[in-house]
Amino acid sequence: MTTAIAYATAVEALAKASPDGDAELPLRPGQLPRAELLEAYHPDAGAQARVPLRIGPNRGDPCHPALARIVEGNALIGDVDLAALAPTSTDVLVIGGGGAGAAAALAARTAGAKVTIASKLRIGDSNTVMAEGGIQAAVGEDDSLQRHFDDTIKGGHNVADPALVAQLVGDGPDVIRWLIGLGVGFDLAGNATGGGRLMRKRAGGTTAARILSHKDFTGLEIMRVVREAVELDSGITVLNRAPAVELLSDDHGRCAGAVLYDTDHRTFQLVHAAAVVLATGGAGRLHLTGFATSNHYGATADGLALAYRIGARLREVDSFQYHPTGVAHPPHLVGQLISEAARSVGAKLVNGLGERFIDELAPRDVVTAAILRECAEGRGIERDGSVGVFLDTPHLLKDRPELLEKQLVSLKHLADRCKVDPYEEPLMVYPTLHYQNGGVAIDRNCATSVEGLYCAGEVAGGIHGRNRLMGNALLDIFVFGRRAGIAAARQVQAPRDQHRIGLGHVQRWQRERMRAGITDQLLSPVLYPDYGNFELRSHMAAGREG
């Protein structure tokens, strides 16, 4: 017999969450052990959370079912589509216009390469601009590279590649210097004249305060600066609205460029390159397991599909991060991100009984699972059909009202859109699909198992294990974006025999699909979410008719 869950209404929960006294709410005793909580309530642990891949270099390895369909999908194009196309050439082709792609393009140019960067939307339209909380780097006198390394390995459940984590944390201070040199303005913890040191905050799952930020829209500030640097470099050709529909290979299996689709002119573009850097981001817009997402419109796992089809190995593609504090109400803003910055400065999570139920600065997967548990066991809050818990901003802002204007600027704007006064009323939150923990397997210089193909940013795996710490994503994209650009530029000078370039790997892929008995006719990459109503051939035909 199923018992109906009786959620608290928002009005009831507000009364309990805002008692007359000023004392801080205690944490409810009797917490579940971390492993037990995750196994019972995290979406990655559900009965339908994974299937074995049937083909490709990771055959037999677990993958999320929706993602498996895409990485096992058939190609969008064939040899006939390349007939009569005149190729253009570049030294390094960067696919993806977010932070990792921009960093790769800038680094490759500094190394002397001619660069083309192709963005599905426009350069800068990416998850990078949505990274609000900040960037981790061990730059404080009370911190160390070893502590950053240990926190990252532990936070990722001890499955991240130690060599990649060592590279991430080791390059961190230099990345911060590089960003400051480009013009990024990080917050200072000094006097009114701005003469202080870099302000540092603590992130969930860490043992030291090492988050550097620009208010609570750090990613937007950083992307503004690196985008301008790319656009001002005459040696970088920027192709906006030009998604990659397939990689190119030579007859030795080496990656040798890509086929792009010019969405403005509705034609294919053939680009030959000495090296290709995939920086296509994650998979949030696939809405895995039905969750809303904080991701930008283009996050549809394109890079995973392209890399896997040409033969690159993947890792941890059954692991995803759900950010604990996505907006749960009003319905039209569900999934919009409320930065961890709010919890890092003291905002508490409160259930429908007015209880704190988890350490707000526990790792994100733990906080997510705890929120899902509260809702599953009837201690959530219901409002207009939406369910969640409260982020108790009134208690935070009562003692520190200046936070909303100085550090939580994005939260202030989001609260206005939610028609909530955060000084008086908590915001209702629920986990939102946020990050792809796994991806294409790389080495310390971002090389994949396919010669000539490099990956950087969220499309790459092994850096974060099975859970990512706040602030490590922004560090990741610039550490490995720069390393990918440098390594790709070295390929320009590498001696190579001339081979026929085309879609030989696609033909091998199609034969493997046939031998495995795969009849699913899904074509990948999907390029845009289902609700984008985009179909490549129809789009091309409409252009010809117009």
343, 132 in Cβ contact below 8 A? Answer: no
Q: Given 392, 417, 434, which residue is the final one in a domain?
A: 434
Same domain, 367 and 450: no
Say how far apart CA 456 and CA 445 lie, in whole Å. 9
Q: Given 386, 411, 434, which residue is the final one in a domain?
A: 434
Tokens standing for 296?
Answer: 């930008």
Per-residue pLDDT reduced to its tens digit, 204-247: 899 999 999 999 899 999 999 999 999 999 999 999 999 999 99
Residue 21: what pLDDT? 46
pLDDT at 22 over 80: no
Identify the residue with better confidence: 541 or 200.
200
Q: Is 521 helix (H, G, I), strand (E, B) or coil?
A: coil
Same domain, 92 and 231: yes
Helices (H) and strands (E) in the chain, counts: 16, 24
Number of domains the chain is built from: 2
Say how far apart CA 89 and CA 273 lie, in whole Å. 6
Mean pLDDT, to the nearest integer, of 49-60?
97
527: left (phi over 0), alpha (psi -120 to 50) or beta: left
Say how far apart CA 245 and CA 228 lie, in whole Å. 27
pLDDT at 190 over 50: yes
pLDDT-derived band at 29 (thresholds 50, 70, 90) equals confident
Say how far apart CA 100 and CA 128 lie, in whole Å. 9
Same domain, 460 and 354: no
Same domain, 254 and 145: yes
Mean pLDDT, to the nearest integer, of 489-517?
90
Say how far apart CA 396 and CA 401 lie, in whole Å. 8
Instruction: Return the CATH number at 344.
Output: 3.90.700.10
SS3 assignment for 152-176: HHHHCCCCCCHHHHHHHHHHHHHHH
Which DSSP letter does residue 292 get? -
Nearest to 214 by CA among 168, 171, 182: 182
Q: Given 389, 412, 434, which residue is the final one in a domain?
A: 434
Same domain, 208 and 117: yes
Same domain, 238 and 372: no
Same domain, 252 and 126: yes
Residue 199: what pLDDT? 94
Q: Which of 285, 364, 373, 466 is catalytic?
A: 364
Residue 546: what pLDDT? 58
**Which domain range does residue 277 map to?**
75-319+437-502
Same domain, 220 and 170: yes
* 400 is a domain residue: yes
210: left (phi over 0), alpha (psi -120 to 50) or beta: alpha
Same domain, 241 and 254: yes
Mean pLDDT, to the nearest integer, of 391-400?
92
Same domain, 335 and 379: yes
Q: Please say if 364 is a catalytic residue.
A: yes
281: left (phi over 0), alpha (psi -120 to 50) or beta: left
Same domain, 258 and 301: yes
Task: Sheet containing 439-441: give its strands across.
Answer: 314-315, 439-441, 460-461
Instruction: Return the CATH number at 276.
Output: 3.50.50.60
Same domain, 327 and 450: no
Residue 189: what pLDDT? 86
Q: Is 439 helix (H, G, I), strand (E, B) or coil?
A: strand
